[in-house]
Amino acid sequence: MDHDLGRHDVAQLFISAAIAAVGVGAAAVLESSGAWTPRAAAVTAAVVVTGVTIGALVVVDVTNRRSTDAASDDADGNP
């Protein structure tokens, strides 16, 4: 069974990158407009962390699927 990086995984990675980019962009806009506050910093940091976390979970999921496939291939002798 082939579980390489599929369209769904790529879409999730793009979404996670977009979420993180929104957080970084919002931080830049708030800072340049003078509206930067501790609350704004916390919210934009949370958005960036959310995006990065989603991306990390996608990578872990793909890695686990590959490891599971490799283990099952070794167990039954079939590639």
As a whole number of angstroms, the distance between CA 15 and CA 9 comes to 10
Contact 4, 68 (CB under 8 A): no
**Which is more confidently placed, 27 or 79?**
27
On the question of pLDDT at 3 being above 60, the answer is no
Contact 23, 48 (CB under 8 A): yes
Provide the pLDDT confidence category of residue 7 given band limits of 50, 70 and 90: confident
Contacts of 76 (CB under 8 A, 6+ apart): none
pLDDT on residue 65: 82
* pTM recorded for the entire structure: 0.77
- pLDDT tens by residue, 10-56: 999 999 999 999 999 999 999 999 999 999 999 999 999 999 999 99
Amino acid at 20: A
- Dihedral class, residue 5 (left if φ above 0, else alpha if ψ from -120 to 50, else beta): beta
